[in-house]
Amino acid sequence: MFKKVYLLLIVCTLLSSAALAQSLDINFNALGFLDNREYKAFIPRSRTYSGTRLALDLGLNLDSVNRFIVGVNGIHEFGAKPYFLKVDPVAYYNYQSGNWLFNAGMFPREGLLTNYPRALLNDTLRYYRPNVEGLLTRFTNEHFTETVWLDWVSRQTRTDREQFLFGFAGRYKPATDGMFYISHYFMMLHDAGAEVADPNHPLQDNGAGQVGLGFDLTKKTSLDSLSIEAGGMFSFERENRDNGFKTPTGFVASAYLSYKRFALYDEFYAGQGHHIIYGDSYYLKKMYNRLDIIFTPFLFKNIKGQFIFSFHQSPAKWNDNQQAFRVVMDLGRNTLVKFKN
């Protein structure tokens, strides 16, 4: 019943918006991935992720800054039946003008939250949770960028738990032509439980953050890109309101360089172990290093294909590795119909 009412509301909104629309556009994008992980440190996550994501949507442009976008985003895992493992609806309001961006509804996370450190939001979300279901706003100027978001994960019923994620992330660069910048990332999962309380699964809060100081050295070299960053990481977790928070901390550092179609990216962590539900499991370790060797053989106007060879080092597990190939095709937004001049 709820789904039928929701669908009716979407249809009514689209019909009323269409009467005011200036144009109708279309967007298609696809992601193909083959991601093999050989993890001795985490046997349950030592597996191969493979499949294709296809996304198609239509946009009703009310004017130059306001639009409604509806569509679908489906995933097929290679060799799986039925063909589509899951099809996620896309339906959101988008406002974009000057320094501001605002989304409300079910909208793609790609390009909005995909810059988060894997320690906080792991990279498999790109494969299996392509949409944010909630709100996001972003402010950008020549010195400062800040993004604030809310993602509803599960609606509370008698058996389903109420769960949502929220967070904020940004970067500040004091001088537009300078090397120095400050970055920060934060996220939190709030798990309020189901309507019928389960004493074995009490209320839970789980979150983490990173603050870093960085230097963009690109202009000082002949490389296409060179940057280094170092800072602190913290997390917090509690189960039940009567229990206090666990608050481990640690040191993080990263370096990135690229030249033509090759790139290297290294991440290092040392400190206390973190249990971050939506983060990378390797940060349970007190020390961890990851080196990505990236080769981009396919680089065209609308297509980008990359091979990524990753090497993971953690205590007593020094030869974990990962091989991935990802190809992304994005045709951009193209006008189908103009209703007004």
- Can you give the CATH number for the domain in which 276 is found? 2.40.160
Specify the pLDDT at position 19: 55
What are residue 92's DSSP bridge partners? 69, 105
What's the mean pLDDT in 107-134? Answer: 96
The total domain count for the chain is 1
Q: Computed from CA positions of residues 96, 147, 188, 76, in that sequence, does the dihedral angle turn out positive or negative?
A: positive
In this prediction, residue 154 has a pLDDT band, given cuts at 50, 70 and 90, of confident
Q: Which two tokens stand for residue 217?
A: 């050295």
- pLDDT, one tens digit per residue, over 174-225 is 999 999 999 999 999 998 877 667 777 778 899 999 999 999 999 999 999 9
pTM of the entire predicted model: 0.90
pLDDT (0 to 100) of residue 281: 95
Q: What is the mean pLDDT of residues 148-159?
A: 86
Tokens of residue 133, six digits: 């279901």
pLDDT value at residue 239: 80
CB contact at 8 A, 292 and 310: yes
Structure tokens at 29: 């994008």
* Residue-level pLDDT at 18: 54
Amino acid type, 69: I
Identify whether the C-beta of residue 112 lies closer than 8 Å to the C-beta of residue 140.
no
Q: What is the C-alpha to C-alpha distance for residues 157 and 29, in angstroms, rounded to an integer?
A: 34
Range of the domain at 150: 2-338
Statement: residue 3 has pLDDT above 50: no
Q: Residue 2's pLDDT is what?
A: 45
